[in-house]
Amino acid sequence: MGRLTGKVAVITGATSGIGLRTAEIFVAEGAKIVIAGRRVADGEALAKKLGANCVFRQTDVTLEEQMRALIALAVEKFGRLDCLFNNAGGPAQTGGIEGLEVARFDAAMATLVRSVLLGMKHAAPYMKKQGSGSIINNGSIAGRLAGFSSSVVYGAAKAAVIHLTKCVAMELGESGIRVNSISPGAIATGIFGKALGLSVEAAEKTPDVMREVYKTAQPIPRAGLPEDIAQAAVFLASDESGFINGHDLVVDGAITGGRNWTQQQQGYVALRKAFDQGR
């Protein structure tokens, strides 16, 4: 405890999933936070639960004035800004390239990429004045490799986030500001249900199903949890990561590492059997 004592952070998309758990752990580690989300009741309930060190502001992260106001609120309320976690996101249209709708593409890019750009744009002046800060952007393994999302748009957007992170890191690093991304693997949250068209309420009830579905997807025999990403965010927000900049931290239980050992060995056995039968 206390790894973030004295630090002030803004966390977007904090009313559910990864953002919610990150907010809880940041406060437990001593941070003062401003959390953002679209659902007022959920945001206010979380702020009440976390106490005086947490303030909620309803925010549409795709709108520049609202993002500007969100960042300014942290400084007005707590006097500084040490960390921004651009976590807000959502699903994008699924299906092949021929069926994509331009309006839905633009909306997804606004939520997944423009919001990250706006957060960095408006956090940078405050952090430059301090000469320090940590910006964390939520990427995805779908932005690193094809085939890890049901949406080609989502994958493309997350690839943009990862590269945008590196580009801005090269600029802001000269001012003492670190800019990194986290690329989660199969994390049990409601985003999968939302991608399949479930209502927000129904989607938020699906993480237990996801834990079961993804428990064998990677060598570590369980699905990823929001806490896994939250703890990575704590590390990147803390002084422990003071020389890490422009890095995409993959937290995926090695799902992108290659074929699982058991799967590979089973294939080897099957191949030997095929050889024996062919003699």
> Mean pLDDT over residues 106-124, rounded?
98
Mean pLDDT rounded to a whole number for the chain: 93
Write the CB contacts of 9 (distance below 8 Å, at least 6 apart in sequence): 26, 31, 32, 33, 34, 74, 81, 82, 83, 84, 85, 237
Tokens of 136: 């964390």
**Would you state the pLDDT for residue 192?**
59
Query: What span, in angstroms and rounded, lies between the C-alpha atoms of 271 and 269?
Result: 5
Say what percent of the chain tops pLDDT 70: 93
Confidence at residue 207, expressed as pLDDT on a 0 to 100 scale: 72
Res. 76: pLDDT tops 90:
yes
* Short-list 238, 230, 189, CA closest to 24: 230
Mean pLDDT of all residues in 112-117? 98
pLDDT tens-place string over residues 31-43: 999 999 999 999 9
Give yes or no for residue 24 having a pLDDT over 90.
yes
- Alpha-carbon dihedral angle through residues 45, 108, 223, 21, given to the nearest 10 degrees: -20
Give catalytic status of residue 268 as yes or no: no
**Helix, strand or coil, per DSSP, at residue 86:** strand
Q: Return the SS3 of 222.
A: coil
| Predicted local distance difference test score (pLDDT) of residue 197 | 60
- Angle, CA of 201, 207 and 208, to the nearest 5°: 120
Decide if pLDDT at 190 tops 70.
Answer: no
What pLDDT score does 244 carry?
98
Show contacts of 154-160: CB within 8 Å, 24+ apart: 154/91, 154/92, 154/108, 154/112, 154/195, 157/92, 157/108, 157/109, 157/112, 157/113, 158/112, 158/183, 160/109, 160/112, 160/113
**Please, which pLDDT band fits residue 211 given cuts at 50, 70 and 90?**
confident
- In CATH terms, the fold of domain 8-277 is Rossmann fold (3.40.50)
Band of pLDDT at residue 209, cut at 50, 70 and 90: confident
Span 249-279, pLDDT tens digits: 999 999 999 988 888 898 888 878 888 776 6
Q: What is the pLDDT of residue 198?
A: 52
Structural element, H or E, at residue 151: none
Residue of 234 and 201 predicted with greater confidence: 234
pLDDT at res. 270:
83
Q: Which of 126, 154, 214, 268 is catalytic?
A: 154
